[in-house]
Structures are given as structure tokens and as C-alpha cells.
Structure 1
Amino acid sequence: MDIANSRWLWLSTLPVVSVVLFQAAIFLRRAWADGKEMGLSDEQLKTGFKTGVISAIGPAVAVLVGMLALIATVGGPVAWMRLTVIGSVAFELPAAELGVSQFGYSLGDGDISETAYATAVWSMTLGGTGWLLVSALGTPHMEKARQKLGNGKEKLIPIISSAAMLGAFAYFLTGEVAAGTPETGSVAVGGLVMLVLLRIADKRDIQWLREWALGTAMIVGLLVGVVLQVTVGSWW
């Protein structure tokens, strides 16, 4: 852990995190400029920005909690770097465990060697490279694919985009629903809270409630999952 939290490791991860922050700044500037070209007002752009920030609170809290677990196993610098780039504790922890297990260790052991630790870091880094390559090489062609699926019919494009987003969410949720009672309860209650809040916001035209709906639903869902885990456990 002295090596895992050393000054040199902090310095080596700083460039990677800086690149991610630089990308975020570029995306924000580009989004603002494109919004202007589309005819959106400053008020609409500010509302969209605020909504995005608020909606990111729930996922950010989940990543932060996972980072605490990762810090205890691979140290602060690597945890900071990996979750800045990928943001998936569900991938990083198993990848680190896979690395140290090749030398007969398990995460949490107090006598993990430097070689085993380095192997864990390489496992996390190389294992996540595929996602980055697909994003870098595939993203420029996604708009053409979307247009081709729409077959020249402009009305179909937003429908296809919405269907793809719903499919992605459904793919991730099905694994959670089948995992056990706490996960099922968390998904169900979170979804119901989201529907209720959006219905109230639309009926009474409450803009701030729309902005906080996603974050609130995620937090309520997490709390329900914890309560079910502590009280009844998992029934399957």
C-alpha cells in the first residue's frame, strides 16, 4: 500500500485524469455552441446544463461509494484514475482480483507483492481498453448507422434513438432484477418513484421536480435495496 499510495503514482495518474477533464470541457463548449446553432436560448441551455448536473448526482454517488472499496484494495491513485476513465466498479474489482490471483493472492491480503499489484493494475487497464477503442473508432459511424436504420424517414430517427436507449437500460436492469430480492425491490421502487415524480411535474408544470426526478428515484431505489437486504435478505 506504500507503493499504491506513493507520490509518484499520484503524479503518473494526473495526466490521465486531466485528459478526461479536458474532454468534458470540450464537450460542454461544443454542446453550448451547437445549441446556439439550433436556436436554443441561453435560458434553455442553462436549464439543460442544470438538469444534467443534477441528474449526474445519483450515478456520481454510486461511483464514489465504489471508489471507497477500490481505494482500500488498490490504493487512491489507481482508483481515482480507473473510475475517472471507466467509472465501473463492477468491472474494476474483478479485474484487479484476477490480476493478483495469478500469484496466489486475493484482494485485501496484507502481503501482496509489487509484481502481483502491477499485474492487477495492468489487468484493469488492458481490460478496459476495448471499450475505449470501440468508442473512439465506432462513434463517428453511429450517426450514419442511425440514419440508415431510419431509411430516410426523419420521424423514425427519434423513435429509433429512444428505443435504443430503452433497450440499453433494460439490458442492465434485467441482470439486477434477477440478482435477488433487494435488487428487484430497488429497481421497482426506483422506477415507480420516477414515474410518479414526472407525472406530478407534468401535471403541475414544476420544472425543478423534473430536474431532480432521476437523482431522487436512484437514491430512493438504493435506500430500498439496502433496507430489503438488511431486513429480509434475498429470497432467490
Structure 2
Amino acid sequence: MGEYLSQVNALPFYLIVGGVLLFIIVMCVVFLVKSYRAGIAIGMDKKVLKRAITSSATFTVLPSISILLGVIALSGTLGVPFSWLRLSVIGALQYELNVAEISATSIGLTGLKVSEMTVQAFSTIALVMTVGILGGVFCCIFGLKKYLGKVQKTTTKKKSGKPGFGAYATIAMFIGLCSAYIGS
């Protein structure tokens, strides 16, 4: 158990995660500066821009409290660097905890117990979590523009008066979400 934790909390993992997060922070600062300059260039008031920055920062910090709790919950089993990276960049707390637990039980563990974890189990869980979340990324990259175009059309068809695609899509997503949580 001690050897496993020392491997998943090793310095190279921290350096890799730190590098990734530093890159993301630099990108955020670059986009913040460019956006601020673009706002000034089109004549926006500096007070409005500063208020937008302040409210955005507030709405960024508050959700990070739950993310920190998720990092703490996952780090006992999956290590701090992996949990930190997953929940900082692309992961969602509900997804990460559920998929990690499902993956662990699927490979024969009784749950996310550090006493049962091995490096092979960690690798499998990490792979399943990563591949699983990439579906949403690829759907957004390749299909979001077309999908949003359909959803943003009027919710009722003008000729027949029946609900359009957007109404059905919203209902289907709601039912799917409820089913997924009730099923698990």
C-alpha cells in the first residue's frame, strides 16, 4: 500500500501536472489581457470591464470549493497529482467519482480502497476515466455547432404546431440524466 501511494504521488507526476496547469494559467492570462484590450478598443468602459473580471473571478472561485473536496476525496486512492489534474482541467466531480468507483468494481476491487489498489488498477481506472470524458470533448468539437443550430431553432414547428427538435432534445436529456442517476 505504501509503495503504491509513493508511486502515484511521485515528484514526476507533480511536475507534469504543474506544467499542464501552468500552461492553462498562462493561456487564461493571455486571453484575459487580449479580451480586456479588445474591450477597450471597441470603446467599453473600464469600470464595466473590471466589474466583469471581478464577477468572473467570483464565479470561478466559488465552484472550486467543491472541486477541492473532490480532489481530497479522490487523492486518498488515486493520488493527489492525478486527482488534481482531472478535476482542474476537464473533469467534473460527479463524473470522476462515479467512473472511478465503477472502474474499480469492474476490475474486481470492492471499491476505491487504497488497501486493494495496485499500479495496474490505477492505470486501468485512469484510462477509463480519461477515455470516457473524451467523448464529450469530441462531440463538442465535431457536432456542437450543428446541434446548437437545431436546438436554437424555434421550439415549435410553424406549419404543424408540434414541438420541434429542441423541445424533444431537452426532454430526452433530462430523462437520460434522471435515469443515469436513478440507475446508479
| TM-score (normalizing by structure 1) | 0.56
Retained in 2: the 8 A contact 1:102–1:116? Answer: no
Structure 2 spans left out of the alignment, 5+ residues: 155-169
- Give the 3 Å change call, closer, same or farther, for CA 137–23 of structure 1 in structure 2: farther
8 Å contact from structure 1 (residues 99, 120) kept in 2:
yes
Q: How big is the shift at 1:35?
A: 2.0
| 1:95 lines up with 2:99 in the alignment | yes
What amino acid is aligned across from residue 11 of structure 2 in structure 1?
R
Shift of the alpha carbon at 1:96? 1.6
Partner secondary structure for residue 128 of structure 1 = helix
Shift of 1:92: 0.8
Write out aligned runs for 1:30-109 (5 A).
30-105=34-109, 106-109=111-114
Q: CA deviation at 1:87?
A: 4.0
d(CA) in 2 for partners of 1:145, 1:37: 30
CA distance in 2, matches of 1:49, 1:95: 34
Q: 1:8 to 1:126 in 2, by over 3 A?
A: same
The amino acid across from 2:50 in the alignment is: K
In 1: Cα distance, 2:48 partner to 2:71 partner: 34
Q: State the distance in 2 between where 1:20 and 1:131 align.
A: 20
Query: Which of residues 120, 127, 133 is equivalent to 1:115?
Result: 120
Alpha-carbon distance in structure 2 between the residues aligned to 1:126 and 1:23: 24
CA RMSD, Structure 1 to Structure 2 (Å): 3.3
Q: Secondary structure at the match of 2:135?
A: helix
Listed one character per residue, the Cα deviations across residues 202-225 of structure 1 (whole Å, up to 9, x for unaligned) are xxxxxxxxxxxxxxxxxxxxxxxx
Instruction: Give me the whole-angstrom Cα distance separating, in 2, the residues matched to 1:7 and 1:122.
Output: 21
Does the Cα contact within 8 Å between 1:103 and 1:116 map onto a contact in 2? yes
The answer to whether the 8 A contact 2:91-2:133 is kept is no
Report how many aligned residue pairs link the two structures. Answer: 158
| Residue 2 of structure 1: how far off its partner (Å) | 1.5
Deviation of 1:13 (Å): 2.3
Indicate the SS of the match to 2:8. coil
**What is residue 198 of structure 1 aligned with on the other side?**
none
Letter in 1 for 2:8: A
Could you report, residue by residue, the CA deviation over 1:117-156 in whole angstroms, capped at 9, with x for unpaired residues? 11011111111112222334456x47x939x848xxxxxx
**Could you list the runs of 5+ residues in structure 1 that have no partner in the other structure?**
151-166, 180-236
Q: TM-score, normalised by structure 2?
A: 0.70
